[in-house]
Amino acid sequence: MWRSMASLSGFLRSKLFSWQQTGLFHSGFRLLAADKELLVKLRKKTGYSFINCKKALEKFSNDAKQAETWLHEQAQKEGWNKATKLQGRKTTEGLVGLLQEGNTAVMVEVNCETDFVARNVKFQQLVQQAALCTLKQCRSGGQQQASYSKGFLPGEEILQMKTDELTLKDVLAMTIGKLGENMLMKRAAWVMTSSDMFIGSYMHGALQADLPSSANISFGKYGSLVVCRRTDENSTSNITELGRRLGQHVVGMNPLSVGTIEDESEGDAETRMLAQPFLLEPSLTVGQYLQPHGVQVLDFVRFECGEETQSSEGGRL
Instruction: Give pLDDT tens digits for 272-292.
Output: 999 999 999 999 999 999 999
> What is the band of 109 on the pLDDT scale with cuts at 50, 70, 90?
very high
Last residue of a domain, one of 54, 86, 118: 86
**Residue 22: pLDDT over 60:** no
Q: Do 57 and 167 sit in the same domain of this protein?
A: no
Last residue of a domain, one of 62, 86, 110: 86
66 lies in some domain: yes
Q: Do 204 and 155 sit in the same domain of this protein?
A: yes
Q: Do 113 and 145 sit in the same domain of this protein?
A: yes
Q: Do 42 and 98 sit in the same domain of this protein?
A: no
Q: Do 160 and 294 sit in the same domain of this protein?
A: yes
C-alpha span between 291 and 273 (Å, rounded): 14
316 lies in some domain: no
CB 50 within 8 A of CB 71: no
Q: CATH no. for residue 254?
A: 3.30.479.20
**What average pLDDT score do residues 154-173 get?**
91
Q: Which of 10-19, 66-75, 246-255 has the highest mean pLDDT?
A: 246-255
Q: Is the dihedral of CA 147, 292, 279, 127 positive or negative?
A: positive
Residue 14 vs residue 234, higher pLDDT? 234
15 lies in some domain: yes
Lowest mean pLDDT among 18-22, 159-163, 249-253: 18-22
Q: Do 110 and 150 sit in the same domain of this protein?
A: yes
C-alpha span between 153 and 124 (Å, rounded): 19
**Residue 50: pLDDT over 80:** no
C-alpha span between 169 and 315 (Å, rounded): 9
Q: Do 115 and 252 sit in the same domain of this protein?
A: yes
The parent domain of residue 119 ranges over 93-304
In tens, the pLDDT along 245-271 reads 999 999 999 999 999 999 999 888 999
pLDDT of res. 40: 84
317 lies in some domain: no
Q: Do 53 and 12 sit in the same domain of this protein?
A: yes
Q: Cβ atoms within 10 A of the Cβ of 232, count? A: 13
Lowest mean pLDDT among 34-43, 86-95, 288-297: 34-43
224 lies in some domain: yes
What's the start-to-end Cα distance of the chain, in Å? 86
Q: Is the dihedral of CA 36, 42, 47, 51 positive or negative?
A: negative
311 lies in some domain: no
Last residue of a domain, one of 86, 114, 141: 86
Lowest mean pLDDT among 32-36, 46-50, 252-256: 32-36
51 lies in some domain: yes
Q: Do 178 and 238 sit in the same domain of this protein?
A: yes
Side chain identity at residue 104, one-letter code: T
> What is the band of 5 on the pLDDT scale with cuts at 50, 70, 90?
very low
CB 285 within 8 A of CB 260: no
246 DSSP assignment: H
Q: Do 166 and 261 sit in the same domain of this protein?
A: yes
Q: Do 194 and 291 sit in the same domain of this protein?
A: yes
Q: What is the percent of the chain where pLDDT is above 90?
A: 51
pLDDT of res. 135: 94
Count how many domains the chain has: 2
Find the radius of gyration of the CA atoms of the chain: 29
Q: CATH no. for residue 21?
A: 1.10.8.10
310 lies in some domain: no
Q: Do 102 and 71 sit in the same domain of this protein?
A: no
Query: Chain-wide mean pLDDT for the chain?
Result: 83
